[in-house]
């Protein structure tokens, strides 16, 4: 049942087809005869119980404009293109819809867009003199040398601050937090991990007990640099994942970091007992992504679909 079409005001309404006078026809009836309305409707008839169709005088109808062979060829080609991918020219059995890309090409382009976005983010960070990497390692079972925190400038690849983290609740930890509050105010802070782990290397680990107990209420808002990464302040692993293009499922369009470093996938930055050294390694990684010299996964979607990288495609 079609949606209701209300009656047109000021026109005679006919509630049954046998009430319609001779010489009045709908647009569809005229079209079947190669005609089209030559004047405004003079009446309307009810159909499907809830809709009205305008009625036109047959005597005022005019012939429809004929389509030339050239125009017909153009229309036929336009209809055929609705089934043809504009990127790889593959023909599908159903219309491709808006954009006119087949599923494999749309997948490759989506992955490429995130790859390109990762380089844009890396370039923004490399060009920003206030952008810094905050690296922490405060795992309770780590050796003393790993109980540290470091701040590294992204652009100049310079260690701005490095210190032992101290015990939670101690004067040493308090001094570290105070120093970070001053040093990181107004800066763009980038974290190391994402879903890569361990969670002890997240900045907010500096504010928590070496257990699963939550931080004291009201404490964390005092340290805005400890909040989780955002689109504006992305994590290094998220930038690298987007650039590298690895996914754990063939149809998954969100690049991610491999759970285990193996299978020939290189570890792109160091993870050691020295947070400052790790921060410098990550800063170098961001520079390589910005320069376009950091390797990309050999099976990245836009590399294996056989139709280019995506740079030549306008979305």
pLDDT in tens, 188-237: 999 887 656 556 678 877 876 555 555 554 445 568 888 776 766 788 98
CA-CA distance, 229 to 170, in Å (whole number)?
26
- Exposed e or buried b per residue across 25-37, where buried means at least 16 C-beta atoms within 10 angstroms of its C-beta: bbeeebeeeebeb
121: enclosing H helix or E strand: helix 103-127
- 172 by Cβ neighbours in 10 Å (0-12 / 13-18 / 19+) ranks as middle
Sheet arrangement for strand 188-191: 158-164, 148-153, 131-137, 188-191
Q: What is the CA radius of gyration of the chain?
A: 33
pLDDT digits over 124-177, tens only?
999 999 999 999 887 655 555 557 899 999 999 999 999 988 887 788 888 999
From CA 158, how far away is CA 156, in angstroms rounded? 5
The structure tokens 């980038």 sit at: 190
Q: Which distant-in-sequence residues (6+ apart) come within 8 Å of 98 by Cβ? A: none
């Amino acid at each position: 049942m079609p949606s209701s079409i209300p009656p047109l005001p000021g026109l005679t309404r006919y509630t049954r087809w046998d009430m319609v006078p001779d010489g009045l026809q709908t647009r569809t009836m005229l079209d079947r005869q190669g005609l089209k309305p030559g004047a405004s409707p003079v009446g309307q008839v009810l159909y499907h119980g809830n809709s009205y169709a305008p009625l036109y005088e047959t005597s005022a109808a005019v012939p429809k404009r004929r389509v030339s062979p050239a125009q017909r060829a153009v229309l036929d080609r336009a209809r055929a293109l609705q089934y043809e991918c504009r990127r790889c020219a593959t023909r599908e059995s159903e219309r491709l819809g808006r954009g006119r890309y087949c599923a494999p090409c749309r997948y490759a382009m989506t992955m490429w867009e995130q790859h390109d976005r990762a380089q844009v983010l890396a370039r923004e960070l490399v060009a920003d003199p206030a952008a810094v990497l905050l690296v922490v390692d405060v795992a309770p079972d780590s050796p003393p040398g790993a109980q540290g925190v470091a701040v590294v400038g992204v652009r100049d690849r310079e260690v701005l601050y490095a210190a032992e983290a101290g015990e939670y609740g101690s004067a040493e930890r308090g001094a570290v937090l105070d120093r970070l509050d001053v040093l990181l105010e107004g800066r763009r802070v980038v974290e190391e991990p994402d879903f890569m782990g361990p969670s002890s290397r997240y900045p907010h680990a500096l504010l928590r007990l070496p257990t699963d107990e939550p931080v004291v209420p009201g404490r964390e808002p005092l340290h805005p640099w400890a909040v989780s990464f955002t689109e504006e302040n992305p994590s290094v692993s998220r930038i690298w994942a987007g650039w590298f293009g690895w996914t754990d499922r063939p149809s998954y369009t969100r690049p991610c970091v491999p759970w285990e470093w193996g299978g020939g996938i290189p570890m792109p930055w160091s993870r050691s007992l020295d947070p400052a050294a790790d921060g410098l390694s990550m800063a170098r990684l961001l520079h390589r992504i910005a320069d376009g010299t950091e390797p990309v996964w050999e099976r990245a979607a836009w590399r294996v679909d056989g139709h280019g990288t995506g740079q030549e495609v306008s979305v």
